Amino acid sequence: MLPQTDALQGDPAAEEEAEEEDAESVEQDDEMGVAADAESEDEPAGKKTPLIPLPPASFLAPGQTFSGSQTVNQYQAKPADEWRVNVHIQAVDWQRGRISGSMEALDVPKAAAPVVTFWEGEIVDNRNYFFWTGRWEAHVEQDVDHWKRFVGFSRLHARVKKDRGDDIDLATCRYIFMRWKEVFFVSPGEDCGLTIAGFYYICMDRFTGSMLGYYYDPKSQPYQELRLNAVSLPGGHVFSSYDFN
């Protein structure tokens, strides 16, 4: 549409009235702009309305441990390589969408001792982090190809593939989507025979605490699968409900 001042050209009285209305409109826009800037200071670029942070999940809390395995499928009918994995959550920041922890790999082929790494993660909340990775050599094609492998992503697939899905309110979703990137080796060191060049696409069920992940590294075997289950907290208790505190 054309601005009112352009649409009313040719009528002096109308032009004068439009100029007065335009001046009032600019003054109102300035006042509203200040408020809008204050509200959107922490919003991702392009967002019109802020989405609320994800409610904390009791399974994703400092001190929580997960146990499971990682599997690397081989070509040419070779048996798959599989080793045990333990994950320990060290810190979670729901406001910033950040998470960190350690990962211990046991019985890894060609590794003489357990391998422990420290990792940092992004929680996909459509406020701080989104489904598109945009780094670590992962492009839209890799993102869609990996996210779609999760059952919890099935209802979001079409929206994300069409327009990124940045406006999807994930606060009411049963599943939590994350990316975990190993940062450095804690032990034994970089000569352990493993690489941490890639990262994990992760999907966790809030209700059960179970996780499924896929490791992505363009230089490694594709679709390495990580399966984890929450280990009972001290005293034998595990919590499967939302924690809104």
What does the pLDDT look like over 11-60, one tens digit per residue?
A: 444 444 444 444 444 344 443 333 333 333 444 444 455 678 899 999 99
> Percentage of the chain with pLDDT > 90?
55
User: In which element (H, E) is residue 206 found?
Assistant: none
**Is the peptide bond prior to 12 cis by the omega test (within 30 degrees of 0)?**
no
Tell me, yes or no, if the pTM score tops 0.85.
no
* Residue whose token pair is 């994300």: 160
> CA–CA separation, 211 vs 152, rounded Å?
11
Q: What proportions of the chain, in percent to the nearest 5, are helix, strand and coil?
A: 25, 30, 45
Residue 137 pLDDT more than 70?
yes
Q: What is the pLDDT of residue 163?
A: 83
What pLDDT, on a 0 to 100 scale, did the predictor assign at position 233? 60
Locus of tokens 């929680």: 123
Checking DSSP bridges between strand 199-205 and strand 81-93, what pairing results, if any?
A: unpaired
| Spatial distance between the Cα atoms of 27 and 29, rounded to a whole number of angstroms | 5
Band of pLDDT at residue 74, cut at 50, 70 and 90:
low
The pLDDT mean for the chain works out to: 79
Is residue 9 classed exposed, middle or buried when 0-12, 13-18 and 19+ CB atoms within 10 A define those classes?
Answer: exposed
Among candidates 159, 200, 178, 144, which has minimal Cα distance to 57?
Answer: 178
Q: Which helix (H) or strand (E) holds 13?
A: helix 12-39
CA distance linking residue 171 with residue 140, whole number of Å: 23
Strand (E) or helix (H) holding 139: none
Could you give the CA distance from residue 195 to residue 70 in angstroms, rounded to a whole number? Answer: 14
- Dihedral over alpha carbons 117, 118, 122, 128 (to 10 degrees): -160
Which segment of 41-45, 81-85, 120-124, 180-184 scores lowest on mean pLDDT?
41-45
Task: Please give the structure tokens belonging to residue 244.
Answer: 């809104």
What distances in angstroms separate CA 123 from CA 7, 66, 80, 165, 184, one per listed residue?
Answer: 48, 17, 30, 15, 20
